């Protein structure tokens, strides 16, 4: 299944002239490619690949990147949150969570955003986001988004899921990857999310709503040391308190 036909690529480039869209059949990592492109020219690059040979995850982990089935996308983004890394991370989680729900509203009851920006379907991870600063002032960031779309269960970790596992075939369709990428780019320029960049309170409210399931159910979080618990509180800077299974509050920050 091809990620983007040339006609779709041309249409998207026309719709989003502010970005420089690059479509790759294979890449080591769209994140590495995005950083290379940025060093060669400081433009608003969006790099999408059909496969990655060295996909990267957070905390130095790798990201399973089976060919031809998922979304591997990195984009250069002007960061309005400055050094507030907590807010930056919440923002991208909300963008991906909202985009997936916009394309597949029937996921509504099961999709959740787990702090800081992992998207889960119930207990399993569907999408992850990786951030990298491109300058010392954190003005430009590279945002890497991995979304499991058509992956079979044996192509992703046991703790992960894909849209293929979660949706009936007639709902998922053949064009899910194009639809999601298009929705992500549209959403990024939508008034609702632009408002979140200017008003962090709106962003915190959207995150709190998206993370509703994590307030009721226990999830594992990566802090200074790993902790399992429920989401208990959200601070102005986007950091959170987790109520651990032992009953204590653990403050998590980026
Ligand atoms: C995480 O660990 O949750 C973050 C995963 C981020 C994966 C994406 S796939 C596109 C981009 N390229 C990479 O090598 N990683 C990110």
Mean pLDDT of 238-242: 96
Q: Is 104 in the pocket of ligand 1 (CB under 6 A)?
A: no
Task: Please tell me the distance between residue 40's alpha carbon and the centre of ligand 1 in angstroms.
Answer: 22
Q: What is the mean pLDDT of the chain?
A: 95
Q: Which residues pair with 130 in a beta bridge?
A: 144
**pLDDT over threshold 60, residue 16:** yes
Q: Is pTM, for the whole model, over 0.75?
A: yes
Task: Report the sign of the C-alpha dihedral through residues 27, 32, 37, 42, in that order.
Answer: positive
CA–CA dist 218, 228 (Å, integer):
6
DSSP 161: -
Tens of pLDDT, residues 158-188: 999 999 999 999 999 999 999 999 999 999 9
The whole-number average pLDDT for the span 122-133 is 96
Mean pLDDT in residue range 61-87: 95
End-to-end CA distance of the chain: 37
Residue 38 pLDDT grade (very low, low, confident, very high; cuts 50, 70, 90): very high
Cα distances from 115 to residues 23, 97, 104, 233, in angstroms, run: 30, 12, 21, 11
Task: Verify whether ligand 1 is closer than 6 Å to residue 151 (CB atom).
Answer: no
What H or E segment, with its residue span, contains residue 22?
strand 20-24
Check if 31 has its Cβ closer than 6 Å to any atom of ligand 1.
Answer: yes
Omega of the bond leading into 111 within 30 degrees of 0 (cis)? no
For residue 210, report the distance from its CA to the centre of ligand 1, in Å.
21
Q: In the chain, what are the domains?
A: 6-216 (3.30.930.10)
The residue to mutate among 32, 128, 220, 222, having the most atoms of ligand 1 within 8 angstroms of its beta carbon, is 128
Could you tell me what percent of the chain has a pLDDT over 70?
99
- Angle at which helix 85-103 crosses helix 191-198, to 10 degrees, equals 170
Which pLDDT value is given to residue 224? 73
Interval 73-81 mean pLDDT: 96
pLDDT of residue 1: 55
Best probe residue, ligand 1, of 142, 145, 147 (max atoms within 8 Å of C-beta): 145
8-17 long-range Cβ contacts below 8 angstroms, 24+ apart: 8/178, 12/181, 12/182, 12/185, 15/182, 15/185, 16/46, 16/185, 16/189
């Amino acid at each position: 299944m091809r990620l983007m036909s040339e006609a779709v690529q041309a249409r998207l480039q026309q719709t989003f002239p502010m970005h420089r869209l690059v479509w790759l059949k294979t890449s080591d990592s769209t994140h590495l490619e995005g950083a290379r492109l940025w060093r060669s020219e400081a433009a608003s690059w969006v790099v999408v690949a059909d496969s990655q040979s060295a996909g990267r995850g957070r905390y130095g982990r790798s990201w399973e990147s089976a060919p031809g089935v998922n979304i591997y996308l990195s984009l250069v983004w002007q960061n309005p949150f400055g050094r507030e890394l907590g807010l930056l991370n919440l923002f991208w989680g909300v963008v991906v969570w909202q985009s997936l729900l916009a394309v597949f509203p029937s996921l509504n009851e099961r999709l959740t955003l787990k702090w800081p920006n992992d998207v889960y379907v119930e207990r399993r991870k569907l999408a992850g986001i990786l951030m990298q600063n491109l300058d010392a002032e954190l003005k430009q960031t590279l945002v890497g988004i991995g979304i499991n779309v058509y992956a079979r269960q044996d192509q992703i970790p046991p703790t992960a899921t894909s849209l293929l596992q979660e949706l009936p075939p007639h709902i998922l369709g053949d064009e899910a990857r194009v639809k999601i990428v298009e929705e992500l780019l549209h959403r990024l320029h939508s008034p609702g999310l632009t408002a979140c960049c200017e008003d962090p309170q709106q962003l915190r409210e959207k995150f709190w709503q998206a993370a509703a399931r994590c307030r009721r159910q226990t999830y594992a979080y990566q802090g200074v040391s790993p902790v399992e618990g429920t989401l208990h509180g959200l601070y102005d800077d986007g950091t959170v308190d987790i109520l651990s299974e032992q009953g204590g509050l653990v403050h998590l920050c980026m």
